[in-house]
Structure 1
Amino acid sequence: MQSTAPLFVDLDGTLIKTDLLVESFIGLLKRYPLLVLQVPFWLLRGKAYLKHRIAERIALNPEALPYHAELLDYLKVQHEAGRPLYLATASNSRYAEAVAAHLGIFEGVLASDHARNLSGHNKLHAIRGCCPEGFAYAGNDRVDEPIWASAQSAILVNAPEAVAARVAASKPVEAEFAAAPASLKPWLKAIRPHQWLKNLLVFLPLLPIATSASPAMLGMALLAFAAFSLCASSVYLLNDLADLEADRAHPRKRKRPFASGSLPALSGLLLAPLLLVSAFALTLWMPWQFAAVLGIYWVSTTAYTFLLKRYALIDVVTLAGLYTLRVLGGAAAISVIPSFWILAFSMFIFFSLALAKRYAELHAMRTLDREGAQGRGYQVVDLSTVQLMGVASGYLAVLVMALYLNSPEILGRYPHVQLLWGVCPLLMLWVSRIWLKSARGEMTDDPLVFAVRDRMSRYVLVATVGVILAALL
């Protein structure tokens, strides 16, 4: 059913797959963290005042927002046919005007200001004042039902089934854009369980004492793995929320659940602290030293998410340190002092891998003819320097491994210690492959995730485990 009545279109959850209040709050938290303490006082003066004060400080890029593509195509057709279109939203007028100017299809904008929150009956009153002769409305939620009740026709966008049924029973429906079926897939993608493989590093301190480790120590290492995994997922959620605009400008990261709008940003804000509390709850059964390391890890990752990732070199040193903290956490969990050699090896190999991650991002930016990655301190001209530092650090890790295999703490623990020398060429092969693939542009954003999917890397891992077992037997 088609109509020529002026069409008023909601913004949050309808025209875009996100909520601008939530996104602007995240921007405030990222840019002015101390100002968040004033949010409750702003809210006491009304939701409209809260939106107004945040919008004064945080600008959102309308070009980067996740628009509902099918609805937008429909609106463009209506606009070309001469139908009057209006943007009617509870978002602050600063954001609404920016979106309208970017799209260029709306004749007018109705939005919240510092005193009036344009939602529900307030929005209906404003629409009637603009078009008293009749209108159509496109919305997405229960709060829009009073507006649909007074409209001549309705457009339903991702509306809950019960809401859609009530509206369809009382009003002609011009078009309906149904939401995708609920799925665990975007949630799993958001918490990144595949990244938990990095937390296997907590088991590294067990290797030098593999022949004498007790079941209790293995149990503590498993708890450490679980705690780091929950904590890491909490930080991944915060990282994705803090990087919304940068991710939307990235060829691959724009498909992440929050950046693409497949998951609501508010859900991430609620789930992140829940995962963090769960992580520290596990430390109640563990040595206090592990809880301290986990706390340092969380503080460091949060600092990296909101600040340190913007600065070249500081970011990769921090990433290397975060990997090493996992090793220290594993040692604290089983109450052993980490080996100097393990820490030295960790420093060089993880610095190399962190640089490989940055190299992959810069290589992608060069392919897109961009000067650098948004939100990072690197430029495409840094590619050769990043590559040089990364390769050098990777081979230094091989050297440290060779010296470690000749140290007294190894010579006395393995019956066939000479077989362990097979680890060095295998490690050299793997480091070389990582950087060769990076130079070819075949590296994903994270080298460890690439290694899991790479057949040659899996062969190297199996061969390395075989060499270690042969040395033990």
Structure 2
Amino acid sequence: MLWRNIVSALRVPQWSKNLLIFAPVSVTRSFDAQTVFDAATAFVAFCLAASATYVVNDLVDREADRNHHHKRYRVFASGQMSPPAGFALIAALGMAAALLATRLPWQFGVALLLYVAGSLAYSLVLKRMLAIDVVTIACLYVLRIVAGDEAIGAQFDGIDSSNWILGFCCLFFLSLALVKRCSDLSAIRAEVDGRMAGRSYRTEDFPVLMAFSAASAMASIAILMRYIDSKTVTESYRNPDTLWLVVPVIVFWLLRMILLANRGKIREDPVVFTFKDRKSQICTLAVALIAFAAV
């Protein structure tokens, strides 16, 4: 039972978000053994550090979580783990992550520290601040990509269109952060006071958030199209025009995510949801196959 509670506290399914660490490896197509090993080390370090921040978040939020329709089952909110056990777990995870970070370039360590600081700031303060919360979430997603690049020697620096990639990621993940807020608001629209527990949003904010999510999604698509049309892509791929097939797939997926949020069907982080949802899995596979065909 103890180990089951520890695994639950670590939020292992959330580790899927850290696969973004490997994005620079894929974009730069640096698949040599050392690069992949360094990226894998960075991935594990981020998973451990992220879990430490999740435990902090759950300890801070345990009272509010007890009033939430899903979060009340978390191990600290339900009393299955005590706060002292949580503090010990945080220390162990932090030390393990720091040890792994020492095996990588110091720039990765800085990125990891920034991620931890941002996550803690989010857990303690920022998540209760209107709009700043979703911007912070988007930045934390992008920071994973930056950290992955630093872990393999900052190879993005040699790509002329790297700013387009980061711009796409910023808006893409901002859209997903808003999708989650919209889904949460949709789930409580029938409640009397219409407030989200531990957040600054009310049900009347729903149309604005939904519109901004859609706008961010479309802006990210526009940037993606600009990247596909860039000189970097046309010179790096044998069949660059094939990459245009990615656009309708991502448009479909984003539109579907927004519609599901409108119906209150996304109960977890959208990235984690993607790994569990069959149609999202098909879209992910389609994008991977298109990218492979372009190479």
Mark yes or no: TM-score above 0.5. Answer: yes
Specify the alignment match of 1:301 in structure 2.
Answer: 119
Specify the alignment match of 1:314 in structure 2.
Answer: 132
- TM-superposed deviation, 1:342: 1.5
Runs of 4 or more, structure 1, over 6 Å off, are none
Q: Is the 8 A contact 2:182 2:264 kept in 1?
A: no
Specify the alignment match of 2:97 in structure 1.
Answer: 279
Deviations 1:205-236 (A, max 9, x none): 122221x4421111111011001100000000
Cα distance between partner residues in 2 of 1:331 and 1:349: 19
- TM-superposed deviation, 1:264: 1.7
Cα distance between partner residues in 1 of 2:97 and 2:192: 42
1:215 aligns with 2:38: no
Specify the alignment match of 1:341 in structure 2.
Answer: 164
Cα distance between partner residues in 1 of 2:197 and 2:150: 37
Specify the alignment match of 1:435 in structure 2.
Answer: 258
Specify the alignment match of 1:239 in structure 2.
Answer: 57
Rg (Cα) greater in structure: 1
Q: Is the 8 A contact 1:208 1:410 kept in 2?
A: no
Specify the alignment match of 2:159 in structure 1.
Answer: none
Cα distance between partner residues in 2 of 1:297 and 1:261: 28
1:397 aligns with 2:215: no
Specify the alignment match of 1:360 in structure 2.
Answer: 183
- TM-superposed deviation, 1:183: 4.8
SS in 2 for 1:258: coil
Cα distance between partner residues in 2 of 1:403 and 1:193: 35
Cα distance between partner residues in 2 of 1:417 and 1:295: 37
1:198 aligns with 2:23: no
1:288 aligns with 2:106: yes
Cα distance between partner residues in 1 of 2:224 and 2:263: 27
Percent of pairs identical after alignment? Answer: 37
**Larger helix share, 1 or 2:** 2
Cα distance between partner residues in 1 of 2:88 and 2:241: 53
**Larger strand share, 1 or 2:** 1
- TM-superposed deviation, 1:346: 0.9
1:409 aligns with 2:232: yes
Which segment drifts farther, 358-367 or 247-256? 358-367
Cα distance between partner residues in 1 of 2:196 and 2:261: 16
SS in 1 for 2:290: helix
- TM-superposed deviation, 1:326: 0.1
Q: Is the 8 A contact 1:310 1:377 kept in 2?
A: yes
Which of 60, 74, 82 is equivalent to 1:256?
Answer: 74
TM-score (norm 1): 0.60
Q: Structure 2: which 5+ runs fail to align?
A: 157-161
Equivalent residues, number: 290
Q: Amino acid of the residue matched to residue 382 of structure 1?
A: D
- TM-superposed deviation, 1:421: 0.7
Taking CA–CA contacts closer than 8 Å with sequence separation of 6 or more, which of the two structures ends up with the larger relative contact order?
A: 2
TM-score (norm 2): 0.95
Cα distance between partner residues in 2 of 1:279 and 1:370: 42
Cα distance between partner residues in 1 of 2:294 and 2:272: 28
- TM-superposed deviation, 1:349: 0.6
Specify the alignment match of 1:18 in structure 2.
Answer: none
